């Protein structure tokens, strides 16, 4: 229900959705030198990188009941599925898709990859937290279950 920014690098190759670290934004991968580190892969058309923002401050890190936290995260998941994926397909029809991230971005990469194995071919989850129950303070429902990789 709002504008979401993203950055795109490269022109062809495997599509890669890159998630920022905890409470990070779409420009983090570029700011931290990851785009430069992947420059050869991007220029040669081996990968195409799409860097997205998170909604951590509105979901898992929000000062709200866990019921609302997981629902906001689920809205973000639907945004990725219904807006980011079609955008990447439109820009690059290569069927191979990877998700990646470090820290909390690793959680996003893993959660999305496990939920949609029909679309995601590889997950690179680096040093991430994989159990969101710590953000739920004992609260549990179907959405928590289906967004919790360890479950």
Residue 119 pairs with which residues in a beta bridge? none
Question: For 65-80, what is each residue's pLDDT tens digit?
Answer: 999 999 999 999 999 9
Residue 9: predicted pLDDT: 98
When pLDDT is averaged across residues 122-130 and rounded to a whole number, the result is: 92
Confidence band of 128 (pLDDT split at 50, 70, 90) = confident
* Secondary structure tally for the chain: helices H, strands E: 7, 5
Name the burial class of residue 50, with classes exposed (0-12), middle (13-18) and buried (19+) by CB atoms within 10 angstroms of its CB. buried
**What value does the mean pLDDT take over residues 2-27?**
96
Which tens digits make up the pLDDT trace of 78-108? 999 999 999 999 999 999 999 999 999 999 9
Distance CA 110, CA 149 (A): 7
Per-residue pLDDT at 129 exceeds 90: no
The pLDDT, as a whole number, for residue 2 is: 85
pLDDT for residue 140 is more than 80? yes
- The Cα 44–Cα 87 span in angstroms is 21
| pLDDT greater than 80 at residue 1 | no
Backbone phi, then psi, for 46, in 5-degree steps?
Answer: -85, -35
What pLDDT does 88 receive? 97
Q: Classify residue 52 by burial, with Cβ atoms within 10 Å: 0-12, 13-18, 19+.
A: buried
């Amino acid at each position: 229900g709002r504008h979401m920014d993203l950055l795109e690098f490269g022109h062809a190759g495997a599509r890669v959705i890159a998630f920022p670290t905890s409470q990070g934004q779409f420009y983090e991968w570029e700011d931290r030198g990851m785009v430069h580190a992947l420059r050869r892969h991007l220029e040669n058309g081996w990968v195409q990188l799409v860097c997205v923002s998170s909604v951590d401050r509105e979901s898992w890190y929000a000062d709200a009941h866990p019921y609302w936290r997981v629902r906001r995260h689920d809205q973000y998941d639907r945004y990725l599925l219904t807006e980011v994926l079609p955008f990447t397909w439109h820009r690059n029809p290569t069927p191979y898709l990877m998700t990646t991230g470090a820290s909390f971005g690793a959680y996003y990469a893993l959660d999305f990859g496990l939920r949609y194995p029909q679309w995601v071919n590889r997950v690179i989850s680096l040093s991430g937290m994989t159990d969101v129950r710590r953000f739920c303070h004992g609260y549990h429902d179907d959405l928590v279950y289906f967004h919790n990789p360890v479950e």
